[in-house]
Amino acid sequence: MQEMDNTKKFTELFSQLGSNSADEQKQKIEEMISIVDEMNEREFRSVFTMELFNEMDKMIEERKLSMGNAFVLLKHIGYLKVLKDIWIDRFDNSPLSVRFEEMIVDENEKKKEEKDEKLLTDLCECFLALSNYSSSKLHSIYVPCLLKVAQKKEKSVETQKEVELALLALSNIIYFV
């Protein structure tokens, strides 16, 4: 019964994201993250389907979900996927995966002055944590970007979380080689 409650609650909150303001989305995403933390592998697999990733891509495209809010949720999902060693292959074939790959290449090709390092880092972390496969040609983008984050020496909790996510995403590359 608990299993159904987690998947149902998550699905309901997700379906409401597109009709909320950015601040309301943040609150719903925090609730969704706490639900995801309680999920077992079966629940995790049943929620993170191709349809969910397709819907998220559509919401981003229609600007109903900000990239910042999407990154918060996707990074956490990817973090738990890697941490709990759960194989989900729905992201790899989704339009969201294609969007992120294209954005990574586009952002990397920008001149140094125009490049948004935070966006590139967020894209790399999300993509690598969620994906089971990666093109080796993109490793030359992922590795330097994430190593730069991992080298931060600040002691704040936020910085340490960024470093942890970067290292986790980097560790996932070994599966792609």
Contacts of 16 (CB under 8 A, 6+ apart): 28
State both tokens at 100. 């992120």
Compute the half-sphere exposure of residue 73: CA atoms within 13 Å on the CB side of its CA.
25
Sign of the alpha-carbon dihedral angle for 151, 152, 155, 161: negative
The sign one gets for the Cα dihedral 98, 100, 105, 110 is positive
* Joined tokens for residue 144: 């330097």
- Give the Cα separation of 16 and 69 in Å (integer): 14
Please give the model's pTM, rounded to 2 decimal places: 0.83
Each residue's pLDDT, cut to its tens digit, for the chain (177 residues) gives 455 589 999 999 999 998 988 899 999 999 999 999 999 999 999 999 999 999 999 999 999 999 999 999 999 999 899 888 888 878 988 999 999 999 999 999 998 888 899 999 999 999 988 988 777 778 889 888 888 887 876 677 777 778 777 877 777 665 544
